[in-house]
Structure 1
Amino acid sequence: MSEQVRPEQRAREQALVEQVVASFDHAENARLTELMQALTRHLHAFLREVRLTEGEWNAAIEFLTAAGHITDDKRQEFILLSDVLGASMQTIAINNEASVNATEATVVGPFFVERSPEVPLGGDISGGAAGQPCWVEGRVTGTDGEPVPGARVEVWECDEDGFYDVQYGDDRTAARGHLFTDDDGHYRFWGLTPVPYPIPHDGPVGALLEAVGRSPLRAAHLHFKVDAPGKRTLVTHVFVRGDDFLTRDAVFGVRDSLIVDFVQHAVGVPTPDGRHLGERSWAGARFDIVLQPRSV
C-alpha cells in the first residue's frame, strides 16, 4: 500500500519523522536518546507502511486506555499485552543469552507477587488449593557443576481450575511459596500437577486474541524464580511433557529444555517422603536448575 504514496507526500512524511527524531537530540541521557529516536523511527515506519487511518489510531488509543483502566495491584494488562505480542520473550531472549548449560529463562507472567510464604524442604506450597498432589525435586548448581546451597527457590502456579490465588479476590494465598536449597543444592516440595489455563481474557487483550483467532490458553507449567549470592537471578518455567499446548502457548514461553516428565502414580503408590495421600493419585517430576554467574 505504501508503494502508492506520491513522492511529495512521502517527502512530507519523512520530514516529520526527521523533525521528531531530532527533538530528542539534547536529552542528557544518551541511552534515552537512542531509545526514543529508534522508537520514533520504527513507530512512524509502521504508521506509514500500513497507512493507518485516524479511526484505527483512535481505536488503538481506546485499547490502551482500557488496558490501563483494568490494571490494578493484582492484574497487569500491559504485561499480558507484552506477553501475547512476544515482546516479553524477545526481551528475555536478548537479555539472557545462552551460556554453557545454564537453564533457559522465560516470562515472569502477571501473577507473581512478593512475600510468598516460606515452606521447609519437602513442604507443601499448595495452601489448600485444589489439584492433584505433585512432588517436585531437583538440584541447583552453577555452570561449573558445583552445588548452590541456600538458593531461594520461589514457585507459583494455578489450581486445577486454572486460576491463581490472586484471581479469586478474597486475599487467599495458595499454590505459591518459597524454600531454600540444602548444603548439596537440593530442593524438594509438594505442589500441584500443572494444568493448562487461560491468561485473563475478559479485558482488551482477550478481545484482541479473539479478534485474531488466537487461544488464550497457556501450556501447563510451574513458575520458578531462583536467587543465590553471586548468581544471576533466574525466572523460568517447567512444562509438562505431552501437554497439548506446548506448540501454541499464548505467550510463546515454551522452550524444549524446560519440558520434563511429570510421572503419574496410582493411588497407594508410596510417596518419596512417606506422605499419606489416602485415595488420591499423585505425580512426580524432577527439574534441575543451572544458574549463571552474576557477571555474565
Structure 2
Amino acid sequence: MTLARDSSPAISSQQQAAEQALTDTVVNSFDNAPNERLKQLLQGLTQHLHAFIREERLTEAEWNAAIEFLTQAGHITDEKRQEFILLSDVLGASMQTIAVNNEAYENATEATVFGPFFVDDAPQIPIGGDIAGGAPGQPCWVEGTVVGTNGAPVPGARIEVWEADEDGFYDVQYADDRVAGRAFLYSDDNGRFSFWGLTPTPYPIPHDGPVGRMLAAVGRSPMRASHLHFMITAPGKRTLVTHIFVQGDPLLASDSVFGVKESLVKNFEQQAAITPTPDGRDLSGATWSCVRFDVVLAPEGV
C-alpha cells in the first residue's frame, strides 16, 4: 500500500497496476509511428499526462472542466487573437521552450517570449524612421548596433519592432485596420540602427477570455511589464526574439508571462522638451525619452 500524495487515500497495488497498464498500452500504441521524433514526443506526452492525472487523482468533473476551458480558448482565437499563446505564456511554457532552444552562448543577447501580437507585413522604415504610425504615446529614440559574438558588425540585419501604445493596445486590437506601433528596418553597413518609437508603458494581456478567468481564479495579475519587442534575423545568425524592458518599472518582478531578464532591462532616459533630438526632429515642445540597445547575435546552429 502506498500513498499517491500525503493528502490522498491509500491506493492499492492492484489499482496502481491497472493504471500503469493503461499508460503502458497507450505509450506502446505509438511504437510503429514512422517518424521517430513524433513517436518520442507523443510517448513522452502520454507518460507525463497520465502521471499528472494519477498523481493529482484528477476527477472526471475536473477533466471535463479542462476540456471546456480549451474549447473556450479555441472559440475566442481568431486571426487577431491567439488565446493558446496567452495560455502558453502565463504557464511559463513559452519561456521554458525559449530557454531550451536558446542556450546561453558567450555574450549573445538573451531571448524572451514572442507574444501573441506579432503580424507579418509590417511596413519598412529607413534608419531613423518612425514606427509609431500615429499611435499615442511619448516619443522614444531607440538606437544601437547589431554585432556577432566576435564583435564584428552585422550589416543588413532585419530588425522587426512592435509595441503597444500608451493605452496598452497593439494595432491589431484597434477597431479599424490601421497599422501602428510596428515596422521593420535594416542595420547599416556598420551594424547600426535607430528609429523613433514610443516609450513603453505597462498593459494587461487580454483577460476577458478563459486565460483571464484562470488568472483571476488564482489571484494573479494579467499585467505585463513595460517593454518593446524585437525580432532580429541575419544570414548565418540565430534568430533572436526578445524585448527590452524599462528600468524602474515596478512590474519587472511580476511580469504575467515571466519574460523579464535582467540583461534586457534598459535605461529609458527621460529628456526635457528643450533637449535637442538626435536627428533634429521637432517634437513641438513634447518631452521624449531615449534608450540604447546593442544586440549580439549568436551563430546559427548553436
TM-score (normalised: structure 2): 0.97
Do the aligned partners of 1:268 and 1:278 also contact (CA within 8 Å) in 2?
A: no
Counterparts of 1:33 and 1:226, CA distance in 2: 33
Please tell me the residue identity of whatever aligns with 1:2: A
Query: Structure 2 unaligned runs (5+)?
Result: none
Counterparts of 1:244 and 1:152, CA distance in 2: 32
Please tell me the residue identity of whatever aligns with 2:83: E
1:242 to 218, 240, 248: 248
- Cα shift readout 1:140-179 (whole Å, capped 9, x = no counterpart): 0000100001111110000000010001131110000011
- Matches of residues 95-106 of structure 1 in structure 2 within 5 Å? 95-106=101-112
Are residues 1:257 and 2:263 paired? yes
The answer to which of 3-12 and 23-32 deviates more is 3-12
Counterparts of 2:204 and 2:223, CA distance in 1: 4
1:54 to 54, 60, 75: 60
2:294 to 279, 283, 288: 288
Are residues 1:143 and 2:145 paired? no
Please tell me the residue identity of whatever aligns with 1:240: V
Please tell me the residue identity of whatever aligns with 2:191: G
Give aligned pairs, total.
296
Counterparts of 1:294 and 1:7, CA distance in 2: 51
SS of 1:237's equivalent in the other structure is strand
Please tell me the residue identity of whatever aligns with 1:109: G
Look up the match of 2:28.
22
1:158 to 154, 160, 164: 164
Look up the match of 2:120.
114
Counterparts of 1:17 and 1:152, CA distance in 2: 47
Look up the match of 1:266.
272
SS of 1:11's equivalent in the other structure is helix
Look up the match of 2:207.
201
SS of 1:223's equivalent in the other structure is strand
Counterparts of 2:174 and 2:74, CA distance in 1: 21
Please tell me the residue identity of whatever aligns with 1:222: L
Counterparts of 1:144 and 1:218, CA distance in 2: 34
Q: CA deviation at 1:97?
A: 0.3
Counterparts of 2:148 and 2:273, CA distance in 1: 37
Look up the match of 2:4.
2
Counterparts of 1:146 and 1:177, CA distance in 2: 25
Give percent identity, aligned residues only: 68
SS of 2:253's equivalent in the other structure is coil
Are residues 1:132 and 2:102 paired? no
Look up the match of 1:42.
48
Q: CA deviation at 1:268?
A: 1.3
Counterparts of 2:301 and 2:167, CA distance in 1: 41
SS of 1:48's equivalent in the other structure is helix
Look up the match of 1:278.
284
Please tell me the residue identity of whatever aligns with 1:137: E
Q: CA deviation at 1:295?
A: 2.7
Look up the match of 1:228.
234
Look up the match of 2:19.
13
Q: CA deviation at 1:138?
A: 0.2
Do the aligned partners of 1:238 and 1:258 also contact (CA within 8 Å) in 2?
A: yes
Counterparts of 1:145 and 1:161, CA distance in 2: 38
Counterparts of 1:99 and 1:117, CA distance in 2: 32
- Cα shift readout 1:167-192 (whole Å, capped 9, x = no counterpart): 11311100000111111100000000
- Cα shift readout 1:44-63 (whole Å, capped 9, x = no counterpart): 00001111111101100000
Please tell me the residue identity of whatever aligns with 1:172: R
Counterparts of 1:233 and 1:38, CA distance in 2: 28
Q: CA deviation at 1:206?
A: 0.3
Do the aligned partners of 1:227 and 1:233 also contact (CA within 8 Å) in 2?
A: yes
Counterparts of 1:125 and 1:222, CA distance in 2: 11
Are residues 1:31 and 2:58 paired? no
- Cα shift readout 1:220-269 (whole Å, capped 9, x = no counterpart): 00000001111111100001111011111000001111011000011111
